[in-house]
Chains A and B, each alone.
Chain A
Amino acid sequence: MVELCPNCQKEVESGPYRICPSCNYYFPLTVQQRIALFADPGSFVEMATEMKSMNPISLAGYEDKLKENEKKSSLSDAVSIGSCSIENQPVIVGIMSFAFMGGSMGSVVGEKITQAMLEGALRGEPVILFTASGGARMQEGIFSLMQMAKTASAAALMEETRTPLFLVLTNPTTGGVTASFAMLGDVILAEPGAVIGFAGPRVIEGTIGQKLPEGFQRSEFQLKKGFIDALVERASLRSTLSFLIKTHTKGGAVYA
């Protein structure tokens, strides 16, 4: 399929990994495309499919916005969670979708991410979370802010139950998601070229009164600054995750 690369503006074939051959831009993946990249075929079972957003601060227009986004994206909210296996090793996964309201974290996203993490803690299975988010969902007011605390407290419980938490940051991962569970993985991976940061580039430019340097807040920058463990190409996602599971679970523990 020939399509326009939003980064280099060329007509390109992105291939099975959905990467621009001209500029290495990573096209966003659908949940199914993402799962196909790393999970054993047919192993994914989705959880919490009934969960939907409400309008906790009764904000005018929010319900319409939700309906519009459901229709546009064919998703029920900005994250899908479930269980699957990777080379026959069971894991819990959460995959965020920027296509649904910019991947923003409201009550549903916070609850589902928390549920995925605690399910992993209970089952003793690693949890892998793929982020793509503009930050907190402002339409839910204070409730969206509190999801940061909720997901972070779930990460604390994963720590106490010694459950592995792996993050794969994809473009973009910013705001309240960065300032909560996205930065709390035992291992944090990122896709090449992804924007990863707390404040948005325009906000920072407004603060400092000048243009940001080239590559600022990209995953390569975050790697250099010490905030992520490694970049992961789509072609090696499955083997990388499989290696991490092996080395972070009981079977891999040498001193236990």
Chain B
Amino acid sequence: MHEEQKPELEQTLDQIETLAKNHETREGASSWECVLRSRQQGRPGAKLFIDLICDSFMEMHGDRLYGDDPAMIGGVGLVEGRAITFIGNRKGANLKENVLCNYGMSNPEGYRKALRLAKQAEKFGRPIVCFIDTPGAYPGLGAEERGIGEAIAQNLKVFSTLKTPILCFIIGEGGSGGALGIGVGDKLYMLEHAVYSVITPEGFASILLRDPSKAKEAAEAMKMTSYHLKEFSVIHDIIAEGSAQETAMRIKQTILRDLDVLCSKPAEHLVRYRIKKIRGIGEVSGGKEWWQPLLEVFKKTQSLN
């Protein structure tokens, strides 16, 4: 990279970071209330949002390796004339669908389908929108046999350098690695009452507090609400919730607004922004400056490409 390009890159990175922060940060519902609301039966899911946002949508099935995972929805939609790839966890809207969709807990096939569709999106220059809503990846026998860990790891790696804009929305439960598996992107948003955490409050309570009945206390201690995650700068912004229709329109506006900016940037800048953002998350003492070394690595990737 030439020296004079540097300010342009830095400018782009800042622009993406601060891109339209509409909603003020405010402390709303309690953590436990958010946990309950994020799990509520009848809460709008990925499929409903896709249908409300797209003028038309075609679902694409299967990972081309093993099967099709109903707990992960994927496909291509048209939003005001723009083709966008949508990927989302699916819990189902009623008990029958819940069972069919394994309550939103994906097997490796789900993550591999997401990866296939993401690479397809990159090939055709289509932006990707992810809707996250899962208690976590499925902790079953078959999931382990077919490498659920490997499937999630691949997604984290490939999504981090995918050469197309990626927007992620946590719309309900953001549960652990299962959520992160479709959660690496340029911009990360949370609905007001969504939650995002490393483990469920129940799991946290039984492991760290040694008392599974203390899930409510755990939820408070874990700082897993949209308010906390914005404070931590892990997410970019909070999207206020209204009726399904109102919320969908807010998500749609966010998508269109962000894509206007992101689509005007070279893919290489998007990738650099994405990696810089991830690289900066974490709190340590006695660490050293990491941005210049990271820039050096970027330069090296460029000289090889």
Docked complex: A181-229 residues within 8 A CB-CB of B: 181-184, 197-200, 203-204, 206-208, 212, 216-217, 225-227
Count A-B contacts at CB 8 Å.
211
Instruction: Given A52-B284, A54-B284, A141-B197, decide whether A178 and B153 contact each other with a Cβ distance below 8 A.
Output: yes
Task: Kindly provide the distance from the CB of B71 to the nearest chain A CB, expressed in whole angstroms.
Answer: 14
Q: Is the CB of B297 within 8 A of A153?
A: no
Residues of A within 8 A of B287 (CB): 48, 51, 111
**A149 CB–B CB distance under 8 Å:** yes
Chain A residue contacts of B232, Cβ below 8 A:
56, 142-143
- Closest A residue to B286 using CB positions: A50
The distance from the CB of B5 to the nearest CB of chain A, in whole angstroms, is 18
Cβ A149 vs Cβ B145 within 8 A: no
Selected from A108, A145, A155, the residue in CB contact (under 8 A) with B180 is: A145
Q: Mark A68-98, 1 if CB is under 8 A from B, else 0.
A: 0000000000000000000000000000000
Which residues in B have their C-beta under 8 angstroms from that of A60? 221
Indicate whether A157 reaches chain B with its CB closer than 8 angstroms: yes
- B297/A161 in contact, CB under 8 A: yes
Q: Which of A31-39, A115-123, A245-253 contacts B (4 or more CB under 8 A)?
A: A115-123
A contacts with B: majority SS: helix
Q: Which of A54, A138, A160, A182 contacts B305 (CB 8 A)?
A: A160
| A148 touching B144 in the complex, CB below 8 Å, given contacts A57-B221, A121-B297, A143-B281 | no
Closest to B153 in A: A183
Interface range for B:
35 or more
- B124 contacts A by Cβ under 8 Å: no
Cβ contacts under 8 Å, B222 to chain A: 57, 141
Q: Are B177 and A114 in contact (CB under 8 A)?
A: no
Do most interface residues of chain B lie in helix, strand or loop, or is the interface mixed? helix
Tell me which of A54, A147, A155, A217 contacts B144 (CB under 8 A).
A217
Which of B140, B147, B196, B288: most chain A Cβ within 10 A?
Answer: B147
Q: Which residues of B contact A139 (CB under 8 A)?
A: 208
Interface positions of A from 153 to 176, Cβ below 8 Å from B: 153, 155-157, 159-162, 175-176
Chain A, interface size category, equals 35 or more
A212 to B141, CA, bound (A): 8
Known interface pairs A111-B284, A122-B296, A146-B281; A152-B198 also in contact (CB < 8 Å) = no
Say whether B153 contacts A199, CB under 8 Å: no
Check A127 for interface membership: any CB of B closer than 8 A. Answer: no
CB atoms of A149 and B180 under 8 A apart: yes
Q: Does A179 contact B (CB under 8 A)?
A: yes
The CA-CA distance from A184 to B294 in the complex, in Å, is 20
B208 touches A178 (CB 8 A): no
Residues of B within 8 A of A181 (CB): 153
Least CB separation from B302: chain A residue = A160
Q: Is B156 an interface residue (CB 8 A)?
A: yes
Chain B residues, Cβ within 8 Å of A145:
176-177, 180, 197-198
Contacting pair A204 B290 (CB below 8 A) = no
Which residues on B sit within 8 Å (CB–CB) of A121? 297, 300
B137 lies within 8 A of chain A by Cβ: yes
B8 at the interface (CB under 8 A from A): no
Residues of B within 8 Å of A226, CB to CB, are: 147
Is A150 part of the binding interface, using a Cβ–Cβ cutoff of 8 Å? yes
B223 contacts chain A at the CB level, 8 A cutoff: yes
CB distance from A209 to the nearest CB of B (A): 11
Residues of A within 8 A of B283 (CB): 54, 56, 107, 140, 143
Whole-angstrom distance between the alpha carbons of A144 and B234 in the complex? 12
Name B221's closest neighbour in chain A (CB-CB). Answer: A59
| CB contact list, B264-305 vs A, under 8 A | 274-275, 278-279, 281-288, 290, 293-294, 296-298, 300-301, 304-305
Binding site for B on A (CB under 8 A): 48, 50-54, 56-57, 59-60, 106-108, 110-111, 114-115, 118-119, 121-122, 136, 138-150, 152-153, 155-157, 159-162, 175-176, 178-184, 197-200, 203-204, 206-208, 212, 216-217, 225-227
- Inter-chain pairs besides A149-B183, A161-B301, A179-B181, 6 sampled, C-beta below 8 Å: A122-B300, A146-B281, A156-B161, A160-B304, A184-B153, A227-B147
Give 25 A-B contacts (CB < 8 Å), ordered by A residue. A50-B285, A52-B286, A60-B221, A111-B287, A118-B294, A119-B293, A122-B297, A140-B283, A142-B197, A145-B197, A145-B198, A148-B177, A148-B180, A160-B304, A176-B198, A179-B153, A180-B156, A183-B149, A197-B149, A198-B139, A198-B143, A198-B148, A199-B137, A199-B144, A204-B141
